[in-house]
Structure 1
Amino acid sequence: MKETIQLTSLEPSDDLAPFVESFWMIENPSDEDEELSTFPDGGIDLYFFHNTQYPLHISLVGLETDSKLGSMPKHSILLGVRLKILAAEYLLSTSVADILNDRITLENGFAGIQLSDLENFNAFCEKLSQYFSAQLTGPIDSRKKRMSELIYQSHGAITVTEIAEEANWSSRQINRYFNKWLGLPLKSYCDIVRFRHSFDSLKAGELFPKEGFNDQSHYIKLIKKYSSLTPKQLAQNENDRFVQLYSQD
């Protein structure tokens, strides 16, 4: 990881685990902007950004299907929460289909977060956790819960047919749900989750995962699709700019 970039993360409580993957914070305390690349990871993100130009800027980021090159401005801090697929319906009550590969700005005051809340990461996580817990007012559809569990437990290495049978929910209904709430079909989402899970192997110096892929050519094709790089190039993590590779611990 870049010595100037500081990364912190925290897992959610058990009751939020079906909807929240993690809370996280990235800081750049240096006098220079830092170049960072991001890749599709299957997460819906809430961003809470602060620097001298933007005292508090809140945005909702939809799922991504392409790699992006950006930068972390000097003397800035970015706190966020990475949400799982069911969060769109049950925590946000908002479809993110229209912001696939895009984002929208949210009004300041979302979830009661103020600028002062960005000064303490643990307090920030607790405040957001309380807000999210308050959104869970009704029962969760058992079919949707099982579908989500299967996707994440298998790291995306599962077919639409298998999910449909296990969740007792038709493939057509599942894809309708994904397109409505997330903006892409289930198979595409599973491919992104598989791509993201391969980071563990790449960090260990393994250019072909032990599980999740039938052959190496298929694996290389998927890596190139979502990163525009070969597994070897991705594993080299040139200039430590691939932030998600060192955020998987």
Structure 2
Amino acid sequence: MSDALNTASAQPCESLAPFVESFWMMKNPTDLDEQVITFPDGGIDLYFFRNAEVPIHTSLVGLETHSQSAYMPKQSVLFGVRLKLLAAEFLLKQPVAELLNDRITLDRGFADISSSDLEDFPSFVEKLESYFLALLDERVDPRKRIMSDMIYETNGAITVSNIAEAANWSSRQINRYFNKWLGLPLKSYCDILRFRHSFDSLKEGELFPEDGFNDQSHYIKLIKKYSSLTPKQLAHDKSDRFIQLSSKK
């Protein structure tokens, strides 16, 4: 990602934290299209895009299992919301299983977001928070909440059996939930989160993280699976094209 792109992010309010990871913004104020590369990170994204030719375009992006290369058009802005796994059921109220490595266009006016809302990031966040809070009309099954909390607290470094025991929910039921709502089994989702968690060490030039992996060969295999690159290639790339590596905390 070029330094020409401006980015920002914001955390959700406490009530939305189990469902929303972050709100984010990217702007390309230049007169050149800028290449961006994204990696699988376990997020479901809502995109709100605007430029001179397109007043607003809204899309829903499912989970990704491989890297994606695209371009941020010149003089454009992209606001987004990265959703957690429970958001499919409790905020979107629809599975995203069929959107694995895919996306759909949403109707204009989704969440009552208009082109003018893409002029001010804090106002955008406030408006979407209000919209999402109004959708939380049912209690989350405690088993699902325990499952979600354990997955994110461990950055995916946990087994299905550990979650099943803690949540009092069978491994079969858990995987059925993941396949229905997200389009992949729990282990695959956890592997993506472990891959993502390695970004912090990669940014520091560390080629093997201290936790989350049993051995270096397993770590290298996972990195190559989701990025098509080796840890060394990722850590030493100086072009700053990689969104998550350059903008994640």
Distance in 2 between residues matched to 1:58 and 1:66, nearest whole Å: 22
Query: Aligned pair 1:150/2:150, yes or no?
Result: yes
Aligned amino acid, residue 52 of structure 1 = A
Distance in 2 between residues matched to 1:180 and 1:15, nearest whole Å: 25
Aligned amino acid, residue 39 of structure 1 = F
TM-score by length of 1: 0.99
Equivalent residues in 2 for 1:1-249 (5 A)? Answer: 2-249=2-249
Structure 1 residue matching 2:42: 3-state secondary structure: coil
Structure 2 residue matching 1:164: 3-state secondary structure: helix
Distance in 2 between residues matched to 1:48 and 1:187, nearest whole Å: 30
Give the superposition deviation at 1:237: 3.0
Distance in 1 between residues matched to 2:5 and 2:240, nearest whole Å: 10
Give the superposition deviation at 1:138: 1.2
Where does the alignment leave 5 or more consecutive residues of structure 1 unmatched?
none
Distance in 2 between residues matched to 1:56 and 1:23, nearest whole Å: 17
| Residue pair 2:2, 2:35 contacting (<8 A) in 1 also | no
Where does the alignment leave 5 or more consecutive residues of structure 2 unmatched?
none
Structure 1 residue matching 2:36: 3-state secondary structure: strand
TM-score by length of 2: 0.99
Structure 1 residue matching 2:54: 3-state secondary structure: coil
Which deviations, in whole Å up to 9, do the C-alpha atoms of 1:176-227 show, x marking residues without a partner? 0000000000000000000000001101111100100010000000000000
Instruction: Single out whichever of 235-244 and 177-186 deviates more from structure 2.
Output: 235-244
Instruction: Single out whichever of 16-25 and 234-243 deviates more from structure 2.
Output: 234-243
Structure 1 segments of 4+ aligned residues over 3 angstroms from their partners:
none
Give the superposition deviation at 1:52: 1.4
Give the superposition deviation at 1:116: 0.6
Q: Percent identity?
A: 68
| Root mean square deviation of aligned Cα | 0.7
Distance in 1 between residues matched to 2:172 and 2:237, nearest whole Å: 39
